[in-house]
Amino acid sequence: MSVTWQKCAVSQSVCDIYVARNQGGTWKPLQLSDATGEDYNAETDGQLVTYTSTAGTDWSNYDLWWETVDGTNERRLEMAGIQANPTLVGTLIAFESDAPGSTVGDLYAFDITSDTLYQITNTPDVDESLSDFWVDATGTVRVVWGQADGHSIGDFDIYSLSFQVPGSTSNEICPLFDQARAYRLKSTVPIRLQLCDAQGQNLSSPSLVLTATDLVKLDGTASTVVVEDAGNANPDSNFRYDASIAGYTYNLSTKHLSTGTWELRFTVGGDPTTYRITFDLR
């Protein structure tokens, strides 16, 4: 579990972004940003933190930034104007953006796996604001926002739309370990894999976090046990991104398991889909 916030030395200025993770019942805070810019609009899905910052640009522009909750893999989307109100939805960061010199915002979404920017609205004379985004079980992104009704100053109407990212499908799992092999009971099983598209192209990224959720025995008993890593190799039940294989590793402890076929279940970022990979123990 993670929470994030902005902390300001002066009211609404000299602000930095912090995150805290609950590790073994203890909340451990971490400062993510520094004094190189003004930082606002913190948002987390428990794996990534996104925010807007003037770091690396002038003080009239706010770019979109994101990184993992441990403060690594920091990235920035350089975009003219002011970005605000980011929301993490699956593999997307959705946000509002005002063009330079404008006070009228449009809605955008950036896919962190494909580095693709999508413009959701294009209304130069209408200001879309107070937006919220979420993704449903089918992968459809749903958006709501407020905009002036054009009749009375200060009065807003609520609008909504839904969309599917062009060409998007559920991720495929490409195993990088020998699933035909039966591993010895009480050994460590090195679960190695890549996220792929339907054509087998690697979509794995350090910014996309895989989290183990369940471990289920498939043959006969259908029992479920707690997922354990070996020697705390995978904190918070997260797979470790391994640049040497351009994929992910989970060193799975089998000391409390029994012989048979097991299924490791996990999630990918904010995608609500449950992914699965199997292995055998003897």
pLDDT 10s digits, 169-209: 567 899 999 888 899 998 999 999 999 876 788 888 888 88
Over residues 47-61, the mean pLDDT reads 86
Same fold yes or no, 2-163 and 172-281:
no
Over residues 134-145, the mean pLDDT reads 76
Count the alpha carbons within 13 Å of 230 in the hemisphere toward its beta carbon: 13
What pTM, to 2 d.p., does this model score? 0.61
CATH code reported for the domain at 172-281: 2.60.40.10
Q: Note the pLDDT of residue 232.
A: 60
Q: pLDDT-derived band of residue 57, with 50, 70 and 90 as boundaries?
A: confident
The DSSP-derived string for 79-129 is -SSEEEEEEEETTEEEEEEEPTT---EEEEEEETTTTEEEE----TT---E
Q: What are the structural domain ranges in the chain? A: 2-163, 172-281
Bigger pLDDT: 280 vs 1: 280
User: What's the topology of domain 2-163?
Assistant: Neuraminidase (2.120.10)
Q: Determine how many CB atoms are found less than 10 A away from the CB of residue 12.
A: 9
Q: Note the pLDDT of residue 14.
A: 84
